[in-house]
A and B are shown apart, each in its own frame.
Chain A
C-alpha cells in the first residue's frame, strides 16, 4: 500500500507532461510523510470518483434530453480534487462551493456515511438521487427544486450552498468561520472556488479579513486552467495562484489536483492547521477540466493537441491504472464497481424522473423566513387590489 502512495506523484508527473505542477508551497512542508492509505480506503476514493464521473455523464445526457434546464457545469476531470478535499473534512465541517459543484454535493461527508453515498431505500433517497432530483427541478431535490445545478444546499451534510456569482461565496465562508470562532466551536469552513475567482475583489477582501481575524477557513482554488475560455495566464498577473496567500500572511500550498491522495494530504494539512491554530489557509489544486465550461460549451478555444493531451490528465483512468498495478483492483473488480455505480446513477435519474415538480401553491413559501402578514403574493396577471 505504502508503495502505491509513494509512487503516485512520480507517475502523475510523467502522465501529465507540461501540465504537471511541481508541488509548491510558501509554507513549511507538511509535518510528516503522508499516512499510508489502506486498500479499502483507496477503493472507496476510486468509487466516489467513479460515481461523480458517471453522475456527470448522466447529467450531460439528461441535459441534451432537456430534462435538466439552465446551466450545467460539470466536475469532469476534477474528481480526484473533489474526493481528496472531501476526505479531509469531518462531517461537522462546513463547505461553500461555486456553481461547479455536483461532485461536492455527492461526496461531502461520504467517508462518514456507511456504504458510501447513502442508502437507496425509497423512503430515504440517496445523496445521488436528491442531487439529480435538484438538477431536474423536482421537489425532492436537495434544494427542493429552488436551486438547480448551481445552488445545491444540504443542511444535513453541512454543504452551505453552491453560488453562481463568481467569488460571491468567499466572504460568506469567512463569515461562517467567524460564527464558528464566535461560538468557540472547532469546525472548519472550506470554501471552493475556481482560478478565475482570484481576480475578484471579494476574494482579496475575504483573505485579508480571514487573516486579520484568525478565522478557521480553508480557501481552495481549483485551478483548472480556465475561467470559461480565459486562461489563468491571461487573467492572473501571478498565475501561481497559491502565492497570493503571501500578501495576506496566509500559509498556502499548491498540489497536483489529479492525485487524490496528494489532494487529501494537502487538504488535511490545511484543515488541521485551520482547526488547531484558527487560521486561514490557501490551497491550490491543479486539475484540468476535461470538457467545456458547461455542458453546452464545445471548448473551441482549445486546440486539438490540447484536447488530446487532456486524456492523459484523466485522474480516474490514472487511479484505475495505479490500483491495478498495485494489485488492489483488477479489471474485473473495476467493471463490477462500474456496474454498481452506474446502477446507482440510473436509480438517481429514475428517482428524479418520477419525483413531482414543486407545487405552484408553494411559490411564496420561501421569500421570507419570518413571513409578513399582507405581503404581496401576486401572480403576474393578478390585480394588486381585489379583482
Chain B
C-alpha cells in the first residue's frame, strides 16, 4: 500500500486507463504543454503525445460538445474543465446534450465521457472562481455526478467513470489535491467503484454526519474530535450525487436517530436540502431531533480572507451544528460539551 496525494491518484489513474484503453483520450485547456492548471496531467503529453492529450482553445462549449460527439462514435474522452466555474459556459452541451442523447434517441447512442473539474472556495479567488455548482448537474437525470473525498476513492471512482457508458461529472475540490491517503492496491489493480453507492466511512451510534468531497473529510475530522469526547458519530460519504444512494443515508439515520448534513455549497435548494428531505421521507419516525444543515453562507464568495473564512463551512461550524443536534436529543447535556449516557433509542411514533 502506497500513500499518495489525491492529485497523484488522479494522475496515475488517468495514465493507467489510457494504457488500458486506446479509446481513452484527454482534452481540455492547458492540459498538455502546460501540464494542467493543477498539474493533474503532468507528464501525460510527453508520454502519450498530442493525439491522446489534446490542448483546446478557450472554448468550453465547443470542446465539451466535441467530446460528446466523439463519445457518440465510441471514444472515451476525459475532459478537464479548468474549474467548475467555467463549466457554466458549457452548460448547454452538458445538460441539453450529454445528459439527453441516450434517452432522446431511444437508447441508440450513448455518451461515454468524463468531465473532470475542480471547485471549491478557500483560495481567495473571489466570487466567480470559488463556486461549487455541482447542484446544477446533480439535478439532471442522464448525468452521473461523482465527488470522491480521498485518493483511494478518487482512483476507484475515476476508473468507474471512464469505463461507464454515460456522461459523468467528476468533481474535485482544490482543497483536496494535496491531501494524502492510501491506495488499496497498485493503481492498475484498484477496483473500479460502484457508481451510485454511498459509503459509511466511519461507523458510529450517536449521530450521522453526511457529507461529500471536502466536507466528507471534514466530517471525519469532526468525528475524530467527538470520539475523544466519548461521542460516537457515524460518517456517510455520499460520493455519488447522482444517482443518489438514499438507502445508505436512511439506514444510518435509522440507527443513530439524528443527522447533520454538511455541504460545501449554498444552502437554499441545495444537496443538503435533498438529503434532509430524504431523511424526512425515510427515517422520520426514527428521528430524535430535527435534521440540521451546514453549508456556505449565501453570498457571492468574497475575496477578503476574513470574510471568505467566515462564509465557508469548516470543522468548527460542523462541530457546532453536531453538538446542537446532540443536545436537542439529550445525548449531551445542555451547557456542556461532554456526553451524557446515551438514552435508549426508541422510535418516536
Binds B, one of A11-19, A65-73, A116-124, A163-171: A163-171
Q: Which residues of B contact A96 (CB under 8 A)?
A: 69
The distance from the CB of A291 to the nearest CB of chain B, in whole angstroms, is: 26
A369 and B196 contacting across the interface, CB-CB below 8 Å:
no
User: Is B311 an interface position by the 8 A CB rule?
Assistant: no
Contact check, B72 vs A175: say whether CB atoms are below 8 A apart.
yes
Bound-state CA distance A57–B59 (Å) is 41
Q: Once the chains bind, are B72 and A176 in contact (CB under 8 Å)?
A: yes
Tell me, yes or no, whether A315 is within 8 Å of chain B by CB. Answer: no
Q: Are A171 and B282 also in contact (CB < 8 A) when A153-B108, A161-B101, A369-B102 are?
A: no
**A365–B107 CB distance below 8 A:** yes
Residue B104, interface by CB 8 Å: yes
Asked whether, in the complex, the Cβ of A372 is within 8 Å of the Cβ of B195, the reply is yes
**Given A153-B106, A209-B63: A165 in contact with B70 (beta carbons within 8 A):** no
Assuming the A-B contacts A372-B196, A374-B247, are A366 and B57 also in contact, with contact meaning beta carbons closer than 8 angstroms in the complex?
Answer: no
Determine whether the beta carbon of B196 is less than 8 Å from that of A168.
Answer: no
Q: A155 and B57 in contact (CB under 8 A), knowing A368-B142, A370-B166, A383-B281?
A: no
CB distance from A204 to the nearest CB of B (A): 8
Contact among A182, A183, A202 for B65, CB-based, below 8 A: A202
Instruction: Give the residues in chain A near B63, CB-CB below 8 Å.
Output: 171, 205, 209
Decide yes or no: A205 and B59 within 8 Å by CB, A168-B92, A369-B110, A374-B196 being known contacts: yes
Question: Could you tell me which residues of chain A, from 161 to 201, have a CB within 8 Å of some CB in chain B?
Answer: 161, 163, 165, 168, 170-180, 182-183, 201
Q: Which residues of B224-281 are within 8 A (CB) of A?
A: 243-247, 250, 278, 281
CB atoms of A206 and B65 under 8 A apart? yes
Cβ of B62 and Cβ of A160 under 8 Å apart?
Answer: no
Query: Contact between A144 and B69 (Cβ–Cβ < 8 Å)?
Result: no
- The reply to whether A384 and B281 form a contact with Cβ atoms under 8 Å apart is yes
Nearest opposing residue in chain B for A96, CB measure: B69
Interface of chain B residues 96 through 148 with chain A (CB within 8 A): 96-97, 101-112, 141-142, 144
- B92 partner residues in chain A, CB cutoff 8 A: 165, 168, 202
Which of A160, A183, A365, A366 meets B72, CB within 8 Å?
Answer: A160
- Would A168 and B106 be within 8 Å (CB), given that A161-B101, A179-B73, A180-B73 are in contact? no
Contact assessment for A376 and B243 in the assembled complex, using a CB-CB cutoff below 8 Å = yes
B160's closest neighbor in chain A, by CB? A370
B164 at the interface (CB under 8 A from A): yes
CB pair B71 A175 closer than 8 Å: yes
B8 within 8 A of A: no
Q: Report the Cα distance A171→B56, complex, angstroms.
A: 13
Give bound CA distance, A144 to B108, whole Å: 9
B103 and A201: CB pair below 8 A? no
Query: Which chain A positions have C-beta within 8 A of B74?
Result: 179
Contacts of B281 in A (CB 8 A): 383-385
B176 within 8 Å of A by Cβ? no
Cα distance A151–B105 when bound, in Å? 7
Task: Determine if B108 and A375 form an interchain contact, defined as CB atoms under 8 angstroms apart.
Answer: no
Say whether A370 contacts B165, CB under 8 Å: yes
Task: Map CB proximity to B onto A371-387 as digits: 1 under 8 Å, 0 otherwise.
Answer: 01111100000011100
Distance (whole angstroms) from the CB of A79 to the closest CB of chain B: 25
Q: Which residues of A contact B144 (CB under 8 A)?
A: 368, 372
B66 touches A143 (CB 8 A): no
Pick the most buried of A143, A367, A368: most chain B CB atoms within 10 A of its CB. A368
Number of B positions contacting A (CB below 8 A): 55
- Establish whether residues B278 and A146, one from each chain, have CB atoms under 8 Å apart when the complex forms: no
Within 8 Å by CB of A206, from B66, B71, B101, B109, lies B66
Contact in complex: A170, B65 (CB < 8 Å): yes
* In the assembled complex, B326 has its CB within 8 A of some CB on chain A: no
- Asked if A176 meets B69 with Cβ closer than 8 Å, knowing A201-B61, A374-B196, the reply is yes
Answer whether residue A147 sits at the interface, using C-beta atoms and an 8 A cutoff.
Answer: yes
Would you call B51 an interface residue if the criterion is a C-beta within 8 Å of the partner chain's C-beta atoms? yes
Known A147-B105, A182-B51, A366-B103: A202·B72 in contact at CB below 8 Å: no
The answer to whether B195 touches A367, judged by C-beta atoms less than 8 angstroms apart, is no
Q: Does B33 contact A (CB under 8 A)?
A: no
Contact yes or no, A172 B97, CB < 8 A: yes
Query: Assuming A168-B97, A205-B59, is B106 touching A146 (CB within 8 A)?
Result: yes
Closest residue of chain B to A153, judged by CB? B105
A385 pairs with B250, CB closer than 8 A: yes
Enumerate chain B residues within 8 angstroms of A182, measured Cβ to Cβ.
Answer: 25, 51, 70, 75
Q: Is B93 an interface residue (CB 8 A)?
A: yes
Contact in complex: A160, B59 (CB < 8 Å): no
A103 contacts partner chain B, Cβ-Cβ < 8 Å: no
Please give me the residue from chain A that is nearest to B104 by CB atom. A151
Q: Is the CB of B66 within 8 A of A174?
A: yes
Q: Is the CB of A369 within 8 A of B66?
A: no
Contact A153 B109 (CB under 8 A): yes
Cα–Cα distance between A374 and B73 once the two chains are bound (Å): 29
A residues less than 8 Å from B73 (CB atoms): 94, 176, 179-180, 183
A350 within 8 A of B: no
Q: Is the CB of B104 within 8 A of A174?
A: no
Residue interface mask B186-227, A partner, CB < 8 A = 1: 000000000110000000000000000000000000000000
- B67 touches A (CB below 8 Å): yes
Besides A173-B69, A368-B144, A385-B246, 20 other CB < 8 A contacts?
A147-B105, A153-B104, A153-B108, A154-B108, A165-B92, A176-B73, A178-B66, A179-B73, A182-B70, A183-B75, A205-B57, A366-B107, A367-B102, A367-B142, A368-B102, A369-B102, A372-B144, A372-B195, A373-B196, A374-B243
